[in-house]
Amino acid sequence: MNNQIKFYQSIKFKIALVFALVLLLTVEIVGAVFIRQLEHQNLSTFKNQIQLQTYVTNSITNSLSKTDLDKSDKEIKTILNDYNPTSSAQIQVIDNKGTIRGTNEINNQSIVGQKTTDNNIKTAIYNNRTVEKNTYDSQNSKRYYTEIKPLIKNFGNNSEVVGAVFIKANLDPVYQNISNITVIYLFAAAIAIVLGLLISIVISRAITNPIEEMRKQTMRIARGDYSGQVHVYGTDELGQLASAVNNLSVRVEQSHDSTESERRRLDSVLSNMTDGVIATDRRGNVTIVNETALLLLDENEDQMIGKSILDVLDIHDKYNLRDLLENPNEFVIDFSDQDHDLILHAHFSLIQRESGFISGLVCVLHDITEQQKIDADRRQFVSNVSHELRTPLTSVRSYIEALTDGAWKDPELAPKFLKVTEDETDRMIRMINDLLTLSRMDSGTQKINTELVNINELYNYILNRFEMILKKDEHPEKTYKIRREFTKRDLWVELDTDRFTQVLDNLMNNAIKYSPDGGTITCRLYETRNKVILSVSDQGLGIPRKDIPHIFDRFYRVDKARSRKQGGSGLGLAISKEVVEALNGQIWVESIEGRGSTFYIALPYEPLAEEDLWDEV
Ligand code: ADP
C-alpha cells in the first residue's frame, strides 16, 4: 500500500481549495451586485443633479412662448446665466422650430439663433417625448449623458410644445468615482481572500491533523503495533472519532491477544497430543498438522501443508473426498514396510460452521501398531498353547488307548508306555508351570525378592550341581565338560536367588541340549565398571542368524521337533529374559550356526566398599 498521499489529493488541499473558491465566488457575486448598485445609484443621483428645476423650466417655457424674440432670448440668457447647476452640464434651449435659443456655455454663444442639427431634439419636440441617452465621444474619449426634455405650455385645455431643453453632461466623474470605489473594493476583496485562504489552511489543518494521526494509528494497528494512542483534541466529531480509534486499538489488541492465546493453547494442545491431528480445508488440502502426525507419517510440515489428505494418507485408491465429506468414518491404514511396522487408526470428522457449512475435515491418527501386535501375539500365543498341549495330550491318549486295548497285559510294553505317558504329563506340567510363571510376571504378581548375593558362589554352586549330574551319569549320551573362567574378585549383586538360579539352569540345560556332540561349555564371570557379566558358551549347533532376534520369544524354537524331543517348551529363554529384565539386567546371545552359541547376562553392579561388607555381616 502506498502511504504517501500527494498534496493535491489530500483533504487539506481540497478543504483549502473549496474554501478559497467559495470565498472567491462570494466576493465576485457581492462585488458584481455592489458595483452594479453603486453605478445605478450614482447615475440616478447624477441625473437628478443635472435636472433643471421646475421653476427654471417654467420660466424658460414662458419666455419661449413670448412673441418678442429678442426679449425672449434675453430672458432665456438671463435664466441660464442665473441658473447655477451643481454640475458642469451643457444646457441648450431650443424652440419648436429647431432654433437654438440659448446656451449656458459662455464661449459658445455664437450658436444661439442657429438651427439645431441634432435629430434627437427634433424627434423629442415632434413626439413630445423626453429622450435620454448615454453617448461616447470617441474624439475626446469621454462619456456623456444627454437628455432632451420637451417644454410644454398649457393654454386652458390645450397644450403646445414650445421647445425643448437639451442637457449634456460629462459622465466621466461619475464613472471615475465608481472605478475608485471598485479599486478599493477589489483591494479589500483581495485582502479578504488572502486572509480567508490563511484561515482555511489553519482550519483544514485543524481538521486534517487529527485525521492524519488517526490514519497513522490505524495503519500501526494493521501492522500489529498497538502501543500508540491518538491525541484527543476535543469533544467534537473528530474528538469522538479519535476516542473511538483509541478504544478500537485497545479492543483489537485484546481480541488479538485472546486469539493469540487461544491459538497458542490450541497449538500446545495439538503438539502435546499423543495422537496425530491433520486438519484440511473443504477441498481436502492440509491446513494444520501437529508434530505427532508429522512423526507418524515421517514428513515435514512444509511438504504436508497444501497437499491433499488423500495423498498424505495414501488412500486415494479406496476413498475420494466426497466419501470422506459425506460419510466421515474411521478406518485402519497400514503403513508397514520391510523396515518397520506402522498401523494407524484414522478417525475423520467434519469441521462445520453454525450455518452447517462444511469448512473442512479433521483427521485424528492413532498409532495402533503396538496394540495390533499385542493382539496378534495374543492370538498366536493362544494358538501356540493349544497346539503345544494338544501334541502331548494326543500322544498320552494314544498310549492309554493302546494300554486299554490290552497292552497293559504285556509286561514289556506296559512299563514303557506308562513311562512315556508320565514323561509327556511331566512335560505338560512343566509347560503349564512355565506359563504360570510368565503370566505371573506379566501381571506383576510374581514377586522378585532381591538380596545381596555373592554371584561367584552362586554360579559355582549351580555349575557344581551340573558337574555332579555329569559324574552320576554312568552311561552318558555324550561327553562334555564345564570350564570356569571366573574373576578372582568376589562380586556382590542384588538378585532373586531362586529366579536367577532358574535362568542359569536354563542356559546350562540349553547349552547341553543343543550340543549333540558334547564339547566344552565355558562359563565366564567378570565385571565392568558398573556391570557384572555372566556368559555360557557352548560348541553346539549354534543359532541361524535369522532366528537370533526371536529366540527370546515365547514358544519360539529353531527346530521344533528337536526341541520337543529334548523336552523343551520354548518358554525357557522367554522366562529368563523376563527375570533378567526384572533385575534391571540384559540378556543376549551371540551365535554362529554350526559352531556354537554364547549367552550373556549383564546385571547392574556397584563395587562395594569394605565397610558395606562388614555391615552385611
Ligand atoms: P526350549 O525349551 O525349546 O529349549 P528355550 O526358550 O530355552 O526353549 O529356547 C528356545 C530355542 O532357542 C530353542 O528351541 C533352540 O532352538 C534355541 N536355543 C536355545 N539355546 C540354544 C543353544 N545353546 N544353542 C542352540 N540353540 C539354542
Rounded Cα gap, residues 155 and 146, in angstroms: 29
* Cβ–ligand 1 contact at 558 (below 6 Å): yes
551 lines ligand 1 (CB under 6 A): yes
Atom of ligand 1 nearest to the CA of 558: 16
Question: Which band of pLDDT confidence, cut at 50, 70 and 90, is reported for residue 613?
Answer: low
**Mean pLDDT of the residues in the chain:** 87
CA of 473 to the centre of ligand 1 (A): 23
* Mean local confidence (pLDDT), 51-70: 84
**Spatial distance between the Cα atoms of 31 and 64, rounded to a whole number of angstroms:** 48
pLDDT tens digits along 501-516: 999 999 999 999 898 8
Closest residue CA from atom 2 of ligand 1: 568
Mean of pLDDT values over 95-100: 86
The alpha carbon of 460 and the centre of ligand 1 are apart by a number of angstroms equal to: 23
**In this structure, are strands 286-289 and 276-280 parallel, antiparallel, or unpaired?**
antiparallel
DSSP string, 258-284: HHHHHHHHHHHHHHH-SSEEEEE-TTS
pLDDT attached to residue 385: 87
Instruction: Confirm or reject: Cβ of 230 under 6 Å from ligand 1.
Output: no
* Dist. CA 530 → ligand 1 center (Å): 29
Question: Ligand 1 test: best mutation among 478, 509, 510, 575, most atoms within 8 Å of CB?
Answer: 510
Q: Is 568 in the pocket of ligand 1 (CB under 6 A)?
A: yes
572 lines ligand 1 (CB under 6 A): yes
Angle, helices 497-513 vs 455-472, to 10°: value is 40
3-state DSSP call for residue 17?
helix
Q: Rounded to whole angstroms, how far apart are CA atoms 166 and 270?
A: 113
| Span 427-444, average pLDDT | 88
* pLDDT score of 475 more than 80: no
Burial 494-530 (b: 16+ CB within 10 A, else e): ebbeebbbbbbebbbebbbbbbeebbebbbbbebeee
Q: Where are the alpha helices (DSSP H) in 354-408?
A: 369-404
Q: Is the CB of 555 under 6 A from ligand 1?
A: no
Report the half-sphere exposure of 309 (CA within 13 A, side-chain side): 30
State the Cα–Cα distance between residues 436 and 488, nearest whole angstrom.
38
What's the CA gap between 36 and 473, in Å, rounded? 153
Q: How far is the CA of 570 from the centre of ligand 1 (A)?
A: 7
Find out whether the beta carbon of 543 lies less than 6 Å from any atom of ligand 1: yes
Assess contact for 248 and 221: CB atoms under 8 A.
yes
Q: What is the pLDDT of residue 187?
A: 92
**CB 577 near ligand 1, within 6 Å:** no
Report CA(216)–ligand 1 centroid distance (Å). 82
- Segment 433-458 mean pLDDT: 89
φ, ψ for residue 98, nearest 5 deg: 90, 10
Q: What are 303's three cell numbers?
A: 511438504
Tell how far the Cα of 433 is from the centroid of ligand 1, in angstroms.
18
Find all residues with CB under 8 Å of 216, minimum gap 6, and list them.
228
Residue 510 Cβ inside 6 Å of ligand 1? The answer reads yes
CA distance 538 to 521: 5
Please tell me what DSSP assigns to residue 487.
-
Provide the pLDDT for residue 62. 86
Q: Which atom of ligand 1 is nearest to the CA of 563?
A: 3
pLDDT over 50 (residue 83): yes
- C-alpha 564 to ligand 1 mean position (Å): 10
pLDDT at 617 over 60: no
pLDDT digits (tens, 9 = 90+) for 101-159: 888 888 888 888 888 888 888 888 888 888 888 888 888 888 888 889 898 888 778 88
**CA neighbor of 518 nearest in space, from 469, 471, 481, 473:** 481
> What's the 551 CA to ligand 1 centre distance in angstroms?
7
Q: Give me ligand 1 centre to Cα 33, in Å.
A: 127
Q: Ligand 1 centroid vs 491 CA: distance in angstroms?
A: 28
Strands 480-486 and 286-289: unpaired
Cα-to-centroid distance, 572 and ligand 1 (Å): 8
Cβ–ligand 1 distance for 563 under 6 Å, the answer: yes
**Residue 135 · residue 146 · CB < 8 Å:** yes
| Residue identifier of the C-alpha nearest atom 16 of ligand 1 | 558
Mean pLDDT of 281-286: 92
Report how far ligand 1's centroid is from the alpha carbon of 562 (Å): 10
Residue appearing with cell numbers 492440509:
286
* pLDDT recorded at residue 609: 63
Q: Print burial letters for 411-431: b (CB count within 10 Å at least 16), e (below 16).
A: eeeeeebeebbeebeebbeeb
Strands (E), 323-465: 330-334, 343-352, 358-367, 451-454
In this structure, the number of other CB atoms found within 10 A of the CB of residue 116 comes to 21
Q: Strand 142-155 vs strand 480-486: parallel, antiparallel, or unpaired?
A: unpaired
Find out whether the beta carbon of 293 lies less than 6 Å from any atom of ligand 1: no
520-569 pLDDT per residue, tens:
999 999 999 999 999 999 999 999 999 999 999 988 888 877 767 776 77
Residue 198: per-residue pLDDT: 87
Task: Compute the distance between CA of residue 496 and CA of residue 514 in angstroms, rounded to an integer.
Answer: 27
What's the confidence (pLDDT) of residue 480? 85
For residue 24, how far is its CA from the centre of ligand 1 (angstroms)?
Answer: 115
What is the pLDDT averaged over residues 362-373?
Answer: 92
Dihedral class, residue 594 (left if φ above 0, else alpha if ψ from -120 to 50, else beta): left
Strands (E) located in 23-128: 90-95, 100-103
Ligand 1 pocket member 578 (CB < 6 A): no
* Share of residues in the chain with pLDDT > 70 (%): 96
CA 315-319-324 angle, to 5 degrees, is 110
Per the structure block, which three cell numbers stand in for 297? 507419517
| Cβ of 511 below 6 Å from ligand 1 | yes
Instruction: Give the pLDDT of residue 610.
Output: 57
Nearest CA, atom 21, ligand 1: 510
CA distance linking residue 483 with residue 208, whole number of Å: 104
Q: Which pLDDT belongs to residue 4?
A: 67
Of the residues 428, 535, 573, 589, which should be mutated to test ligand 1's pocket, given the most ligand atoms within 8 Å of the CB? 573
Query: How far is residue 424's CA from residue 340's CA, in Å, rounded to a whole number?
Result: 40
Q: pLDDT by residue (tens digit) across 144-203?
A: 888 898 988 887 788 888 889 998 888 888 888 888 988 998 899 889 888 888 888 888
Q: Which helix (H) or strand (E) holds 495?
A: strand 492-495
Is the CB–ligand 1 distance for residue 392 below 6 Å?
A: no
pTM: 0.51
Distance (Å) from CA 430 to ligand 1 centroid: 16
**Could you tell me if 485 and 522 are in contact, meaning their C-beta atoms sit under 8 angstroms apart?**
yes
* Cα–ligand 1 centroid distance for 314 (angstroms): 42
Cell numbers at 60, concatenated = 424658460
State which of 512, 551, 562, 576 you would mutate to test the pocket of ligand 1, scoring each by most atoms of that ligand within 8 A of its C-beta: 551
Extract the C-alpha cell encoding 99. 432654433
Residue 484's CB is within 10 A of a number of other CB atoms, namely 15
